Amino acid sequence: MPSIINEPKLDFKDVLLRPKRSTLKSRSEVELTREFKFKNSKRTYSGIPVVASNMDTVGTFEMADKLAEAGLFTTMHKHYSIDQWKDFGATRPVSIFDHVAISSGISENDWNKLTAVCEALPQLNAICLDVANGYSETFVDFIRKVREQFPRHTIFAGNVVTGEMVEELLLAGADCVKVGIGPGSVCTTRKKAGVGYPQLSAVLECADAAHGLNGHVMSDGGCTNPGDVAKAFGAGADFVMMGGLFAGHDQSGGELIERDGRKFKLFYGMSSDTAMKKHHGAVAEYRASEGKTITIPYRGDVTNTVLDLLGGIRSACTYTGSRTLKELPKRTTFIRVTQQTNDMYNPYEVATAPKSG
Ligand code: 5GP
């Protein structure tokens, strides 16, 4: 018989951070830089753990240039060629490689490209292994293979949403597990496949599992404003990845469109029809597209967005009395502000409840 989890699982919108007594005088006193020592690569990371997603409209070389300047991280999209990577390596300072990862899928072609780029660019030290469904055995085997070939590279891998799979990926060789199935702004998995997990609960549960093994987690998707990013950190995410919040800028990919004198940029999911036609020539017959294509208002240089984003996180730290981002989860109490839909409206109760007064 199918089983049902009755305990409520929550999204970012379902909670708020409760303010706490604070001795901080201003947001500028908050330290957002974090230092991590990774479980398997043994590398140390130092930076602001806010990450641009490896979507071709977001994770671009130009985005990495700007975000690295501010201490943020970029996972590059999978469609750069080996030559483009060589050019990137030849024209950027070595220091940028503390803030970027190459992304890869798990096909033979992906493996060949990954090994070629890593061989050509010894300064590259982080790899993001990214599949829509991180629950397959093939994925776990691929992580093992990459760990064996690249013992000193930091490996980000996902996506999954449950503690036991976080543990499995860490034990296979990942350093930081990406968490999120279905929350993305241009993702349609919850509708197309009926699969998903509310993101705040996924992060809470996965962070707990990862930290128990000295591993890390990256919350991926579902942040629609800086407050959501603060909630993800409050729930225990070590890194927070976002697509939509970094889309629409000069540094983002995606066509610029002018309509009635206003500018927009195209933003689409990596398994949308748009992306599949662009990179593979067509939508594969056996799979439904699980991403959509939207236009978002053009937002100019990403620098202003970064300031706004970091300002929001600093503010959350100030309200909760967290002098550093590291302290935020320890000082987090979430207040649940929504009810499950069936609590709010039960037609049977409405029909039969005794009238008051
Ligand atoms: P956002 O920050 O825009 O809410 O979410 C970004 C995340 O959505 C990405 O990092 C990735 O995990 C996920 N994503 C990107 N494209 C697609 C897609 O086409 N389908 C699905 N299911 N998820 C996607």
Q: Indicate which residues carry an active-site annotation.
A: 187, 189
Q: Is residue 223 part of a domain?
A: yes
Region class of 50: left (phi > 0), else alpha (psi between -120 and 50), else beta: beta
Query: For ligand 1, which residues put their CB under 6 angstroms from it?
Result: 53, 55, 132, 159, 180, 184-187, 189, 220-223, 241-244, 269-272, 290-291
User: 155 in helix, strand or coil?
Assistant: strand
Q: What's the 185 CA to ligand 1 centre distance in angstroms?
A: 7
Q: How much is the average pLDDT of 330-337?
A: 98
Q: Categorize the per-residue pLDDT at 339 as very low, low, confident or very high, splitting at 50, 70 and 90.
A: confident
Residue 54 alpha carbon, nearest atom of ligand 1: 10
Structural domain of residue 38, as residue ranges? 15-19+29-252+301-337
Residue 182 alpha carbon, nearest atom of ligand 1: 22
Which of these ranges, 25-29, 198-202, 241-245, 341-345, has the smallest mean pLDDT?
A: 341-345
Q: Categorize the per-residue pLDDT at 350 as very low, low, confident or very high, splitting at 50, 70 and 90.
A: very low
φ, ψ dihedrals at 223, nearest 5° = -85, 120
Please tell me which residue, 250 or 289, carries the higher pLDDT value: 250
Q: What's the 192 CA to ligand 1 centre distance in angstroms?
A: 14
Q: Is residue 348 part of a domain?
A: no
Which one-letter amino acid corresponds to residue 205?
E
The pLDDT of residue 288 is: 67
Q: Is residue 76 part of a domain?
A: yes
Q: What's the 136 CA to ligand 1 centre distance in angstroms?
A: 19
Q: Categorize the per-residue pLDDT at 340 as very low, low, confident or very high, splitting at 50, 70 and 90.
A: low
Contact status, residue 189 vs residue 161, Cβ threshold 8 Å: no
pLDDT in tens, 278-305: 998 876 666 667 899 999 999 999 999 9
What distance in Å separates the CA atoms of residue 158 and residue 237, rounded to the nearest whole number?
14
Contact status, residue 52 vs residue 63, Cβ threshold 8 Å: yes
Q: Which residues contact 146 (CB under 8 A, 6 or more apart)?
A: 104, 114, 127, 129, 153, 155, 173
Q: In a 10 Å sphere around its CB, with 0-12 CB exposed, 13-18 middle and 19+ buried, how is residue 60 labelled?
A: buried
What distance in Å separates the CA atoms of residue 222 and residue 224, rounded to the nearest whole number?
6
Q: What's the 72 CA to ligand 1 centre distance in angstroms?
A: 19
pLDDT in tens, 63-83: 999 999 999 999 999 999 999
Q: What is the CATH number of the domain that holds 57?
A: 3.20.20.70
Q: Is 75 annotated as a binding residue?
A: no
Q: What is the pTM of this model?
A: 0.94
Q: Is 78 annotated as a binding residue?
A: yes
Domain count, the chain: 1
The pLDDT of residue 290 is: 86
Q: Is residue 346 part of a domain?
A: no
Residue 245 alpha carbon, nearest atom of ligand 1: 2
Does the pLDDT at position 345 exceed 70?
no
Atom 10 of ligand 1, nearest CA residue: 53
Does the pLDDT at position 357 exceed 80?
no
The pLDDT of residue 284 is: 66
Q: What's the mean per-residue pLDDT of the chain?
A: 93
Q: Is 105 annotated as a binding residue?
A: no
Angle of helix 108-120 relative to helix 137-149, nearest 10 degrees, comes to: 20
The pLDDT of residue 280 is: 83
pLDDT in tens, 128-157: 999 999 999 999 999 999 999 999 999 999
In percent, the amount of the chain with pLDDT more than 90 equals 89
